[in-house]
Structure 1
Amino acid sequence: MPDASVVIMDGMAVDAVVIGSGPNGLVAANLLADAGWSVLVLEAADEPGGSVRTAEITAPGFRNDLCSSFYPVAAVSPVLQALELERHGLRWTHAPEVLAHVLPDDRTVLLSRDLDRTAKSLESFVAGDGDAWRELYAEWLKIREPVMAAITGPFPPVRASVGLLRSLGVGDALRLARTFTLTARRMGEERFTGEGAQVLLAGNALHTDLGPDQAGSAVFGWMMAMIGQEVGFPAPVGGAGSLTAALVARLRQRGGQVSCGRRVTSVLVAGGRAMGVRDSSGSVVLARHAVLADVPAPALYLDLVGPDHLPAAFVADLARFDWDDATIKVDWALSGPVPWAVADAASAGTVHIGPDVNGLATFRNDLACGRLPRTPFILMGQMTTTDPTRSPEGTESAWAYTHVPRGQWTPDRIRRRADRMEQAIEQHAPGFRAKIVARSVMGPVELAEHNMSLVEGSINTGTAALHQQLVFRPTVGTGRADTPIDRLYLAGAAAHPGGAVHGAPGANAAKAALARHGLAGGPYRLAIKAVHRALYR
């Protein structure tokens, strides 16, 4: 690594360099620009956005989101709400219904923004579950604000925890804490009698890599279901890229810069401090105050920084970093709407196709054992149903993904899995395959080529399991954005609170950088160093 004098001599200078232009990187850049810092975002790809991008990859006139499409957590994230992105061109849209889970026998449970419709669907499975859902939703509304503040804020969430205690009292706060440790199956059994509500919780938990029998899966299934009940699963009008465009427009209005096609190859470290970065062309950018990295933790520490600059115990801990499953995603241009056998699936933006709770558990266990599940759990999006701008009138732009084991995925193996996904959809929508005009298939390698952060098709940048959350994310540490390198901050989904588009890791990194640079910066850094010495000596 070059020393500081070399960095200063040959590099341009800004207050902060942000590595990566995914939503977390752009949120971090916006908050630093709000504070008056000069900010440069360096992006390896030819356009910004990371996994929040849109393109015509199937047929002309069909706009397909390359990775993510629906953003329920964004709709309730205090981080993104504070940015007021609607003032910069962002508009949200909804499908008529939020989500339908189609069981093997075509029985379907519906999640709707209309509470009465959700309750009626649950009642069709067993009497009483509609009222039980209303009770669960009322509890959510009571605590949603402090819960979201706790989840999206820096760790530990002291202020938000106080708010929860005030709202709930000690007893109910402890009961909520217990809920956070439950499996989705156990929570479903405790709160409901029928299969409909139970599979709704378990299926939503599998938006992460957690099956219904894994500790902590209940909180993910509960949150996704409750957020869907409250605000739905919204999508940006025009495509996911509209969210990125709004973040970029806001940043540029405040003087920030985004430079694409510039892959950062190293973080320059001298005297235990991050001094700037070097890109693949050899150009150096000096960072006066901070370097923030919206990249996976192993890539930041082992590739961009290098083990020589890190405590040996930290490097050893990082070797145990646990990735989430690989993914195969298929996008389709369809000549018409999906011909579902059940009407509720036709009106939903998101459709779960798969087994009951036991089947979901088998699916997840197969993945844990490195086996390709015989019956895939498919998460599907109907984008023209959600947003008519996505394809020509009368057609449908759709996608689906499923998790697969990590490992070697040849083009032929990926094609066969995509065919199997189409067969599974065809069973519930006879005539589906006849409507396919074109398709695009991305396996683990292709997803990683699209976005370097999707390592081997990992879409959550590390498992959501309890052993890699809170103070254990990305590894044993403080649960904060600070790193063992002074003025270097982890700003991506590998940091607390993890995946989903909510901007929290980027916001937390920006707040840490501002705190380090502020009047209390000296004591702040001394405190962080003391913690790191205790952890990594």
Structure 2
Amino acid sequence: MLSTGLAATEPGAERVDAVVVGAGHNGLVAANLLADAGWDVMVLEATDAPGGAVRSAEVTAPGYLSDLYSSFYPLGYASPVLRRLALHEHGLAWRHAPEVLAHLLPDGRAAVLNRDPHRTAASMAAFAPSDGERWLESYADWRTVSRPLLDALFTPFPPVRNGLELLARLRTAGALRLARRLVLPVRRLGAELFDGAGAPALLASCALHTDLSPEDAGSGIYGWLLAMLGQEVGWPVPVGGAQRITDALVSRLRARGGRISYGAPVDRVLVARGRAMGVRTVGGRTWQARRAVLADVPAPALYLDLVGATRLPPRLVEDLDHFRWDGSTVKVDWALDGPVPWTNPEVAGAGTVHLATDLNGLTRYAATLACGEVPEDPFLLLGQMTTADPSRSPAGTESLWAYTHLPFRRIWRTEEVAEQVTRMEAVLERHAPGFRARVRGRYVAGPADLEERNPSLVGGAVGGGTAAAYQQLFLRPVPGLGRPDTPIDRLYLASASANPGGGVHGAPGANAARAALARDRVLTGGLYARVVGAAHRAVYR
């Protein structure tokens, strides 16, 4: 059997500048940036289609388009990474629902986020008169820091330049208070900012787009970030489905000479003398990478399956034992022959609906998951897609989805998933009587279904690993540099398992491409490699 190093340089190996493993959106972003630099790039995708968790299809009924995984994209719309790619030149356009988000409470009241700050403030003031002005004050705080904060979020760690800009804007006192906000639990943040029940519940439900509890350190910044992005730019959707993001990335890549091979699962990264030399696909075909290998796959898959523990520092392998996934997911799509018959009409115009519990209920839901139990009354994140984009289904109908979380497990029985779907529909029927009568078609994706169609969604975990503070920044995916560089020279982690984590914004892919380009520079690439190598030796010795 050939060694992995010799296989990379076999005479039959096809040679390219860079191999990108995985055609998820991060892999496609990385491939585009390398192609922009003039590199010959080959993307190898295990499945028969690009996009990873950014895909659409008609799965419920003819004429009803569903986003199969991710859907609303505040981070993608605001991302400087995607903005610089000018995807509108390749057909990507955006639409907004009349209302950004509605959080429906158990008593039937709704806290509604609109792109007009004053309309949002009026909704929050209905819960407590002071909360309208408090919302506007919080939004003003956000506007002060939004650009440098987002730039810092989407650039390699540590974000020195953007951090200095934040410090210049806020000065020491303001920076210290922002630092405190970054670690606050969302329950505490909501209590400090608002008096009524509406705004804190809305912030907390935004935080639960991750796997964090309202009591977890750092959940406050997630809730505040998503809510304030909704206020600033909305939560838009691509016209014609999430697939349009992927289509634009593929079109752009091909226009620059990049290539994609489908049905080409990689089973080994080829390493010689501590350097990534290429990859081997199932069946034995090899690809030599003259400059870099970038992997848009989960960190455990890259390190343990594609590289192998024997080629890694033992301490890194030990740290991977403590890598934690986010929760498993159950997602249901419905084709409705009319709009959702909400009891509260304020919810009807919202693209996204958080259904239907208060702050204490969110804590109980998260605690149930933390105990490894299935919530009997699940919290739902729901998308009214035709409300946001009329092209998603025939006029007068609705293409609807909802998902909820389960405790992380690799195996869920079909009947367990079916029971949770029944609970999900009961929640909807309670707040929209007559919902079931409007269902023309239904499509259920449990954790196993999600992983089967997208191997990166291990156990139905959609975030590439927990968003908990102990697995973020320089602790993501394990304690280290917080960068895409790996202990294998010219091998880069380009997935949501890398900093800054999950969400459709392209930052992990962009960061990996930037690192590969820095390593390859003629004058400074060698120094870059020595510095990164020394840092890795210090971390993993």
Cα distance in 2 for partners of 1:6, 1:489 equals 20
Note the alpha carbon deviations across 1:194-241, whole angstroms, 9 max, x for none.
110100110000000011100000000000000000111000000000
Amino acid at match of 1:236: P
TM alignment of 1:268-283, pairs within 5 A: 268-283=270-285
Cα distance in 1 for partners of 2:224, 2:426 equals 30
TM alignment of 1:65-214, pairs within 5 A: 65-214=67-216
Structure 2 spans left out of the alignment, 5+ residues? none
Residue 441 of structure 1 aligns to a residue whose secondary structure is strand
Cα distance in 1 for partners of 2:281, 2:4 equals 16
1:494 aligned to which of 497, 500, 524: 497
Amino acid at match of 1:350: T
Cα distance in 2 for partners of 1:476, 1:29 equals 27
1:533 match: 537
Indicate if the aligned counterparts of 1:15 and 1:287 stay in contact, CA closer than 8 A: yes
TM alignment of 1:257-272, pairs within 5 A: 257-272=259-274
Cα distance in 2 for partners of 1:5, 1:183 equals 51
Q: CA deviation at 1:495?
A: 0.1
Residue 270 of structure 2 aligns to a residue whose secondary structure is strand
Cα distance in 1 for partners of 2:143, 2:348 equals 29
Amino acid at match of 1:46: D
Indicate if the aligned counterparts of 2:56 and 2:242 stay in contact, CA closer than 8 A: yes
Cα distance in 2 for partners of 1:259, 1:236 equals 25
Q: TM-score, normalised by structure 1?
A: 0.99
Amino acid at match of 1:504: A
TM alignment of 1:135-534, pairs within 5 A: 135-407=137-409, 408-518=411-521, 519-534=523-538
Cα distance in 1 for partners of 2:315, 2:408 equals 27
Q: CA deviation at 1:343?
A: 1.4
Cα distance in 2 for partners of 1:32, 1:168 equals 36
Cα distance in 2 for partners of 1:375, 1:101 equals 16
Q: CA deviation at 1:3?
A: 4.5
Cα distance in 2 for partners of 1:3, 1:456 equals 30
Q: CA deviation at 1:2?
A: 2.4
Residue 139 of structure 1 aligns to a residue whose secondary structure is helix
Cα distance in 2 for partners of 1:324, 1:4 equals 35
Note the alpha carbon deviations across 1:434-472, whole angstroms, 9 max, x for none.
000110101110000111010000000100000000000
Cα distance in 1 for partners of 2:430, 2:315 equals 52
2:3 is aligned with 1:2? yes
Please identify, of 266-275 and 404-413, the stretch whose mean Cα deviation from structure 2 is larger: 404-413
Cα distance in 1 for partners of 2:342, 2:359 equals 22
Cα distance in 2 for partners of 1:507, 1:262 equals 23
Indicate if the aligned counterparts of 2:325 and 2:408 stay in contact, CA closer than 8 A: no
Note the alpha carbon deviations across 1:70-115, whole angstroms, 9 max, x for none.
1000111111111110011000011111000111111110011011
Q: CA deviation at 1:422?
A: 0.6
Cα distance in 2 for partners of 1:419, 1:335 equals 20
Cα distance in 1 for partners of 2:102, 2:31 equals 37
Indicate if the aligned counterparts of 2:7 and 2:270 stay in contact, CA closer than 8 A: no
Indicate if the aligned counterparts of 2:376 and 2:423 stay in contact, CA closer than 8 A: no
Indicate if the aligned counterparts of 1:184 and 1:218 stay in contact, CA closer than 8 A: yes
Cα distance in 1 for partners of 2:415, 2:441 equals 18
Q: CA deviation at 1:4?
A: 3.6
1:15 match: 17
Cα distance in 2 for partners of 1:414, 1:514 equals 45
1:50 match: 52
Residue 127 of structure 2 aligns to a residue whose secondary structure is coil
Cα distance in 2 for partners of 1:501, 1:3 equals 33
Residue 40 of structure 1 aligns to a residue whose secondary structure is strand
Q: CA deviation at 1:177?
A: 0.6
Residue 8 of structure 2 aligns to a residue whose secondary structure is helix
Please identify, of 202-211 and 258-267, the stretch whose mean Cα deviation from structure 2 is larger: 258-267
Cα distance in 2 for partners of 1:418, 1:373 equals 12
Note the alpha carbon deviations across 1:489-515, whole angstroms, 9 max, x for none.
000000000000010000000000000
Structure 1 spans left out of the alignment, 5+ residues? none
1:210–1:3 CA distance, 2 compared to 1 (3 A): closer
Cα distance in 2 for partners of 1:234, 1:427 equals 28
Q: CA deviation at 1:354?
A: 2.3
Residue 482 of structure 2 aligns to a residue whose secondary structure is coil
Residue 288 of structure 1 aligns to a residue whose secondary structure is strand
Amino acid at match of 2:532: I
Paired residues, what number? 537
Note the alpha carbon deviations across 1:141-198, whole angstroms, 9 max, x for none.
1111100111110000000001101111111011001100000000000111011010
Amino acid at match of 1:451: N
Question: Runs of 4 or more off by more than 6 Å in structure 1?
Answer: none
RMSD of aligned residue pairs (Cα, Å):
0.8
- Between the aligned residues of both structures, percent identity stands at 58
1:422–1:334 CA distance, 2 compared to 1 (3 A): same
Cα distance in 2 for partners of 1:282, 1:329 equals 36
Q: CA deviation at 1:7?
A: 1.9
Please identify, of 465-474 and 56-65, the stretch whose mean Cα deviation from structure 2 is larger: 56-65
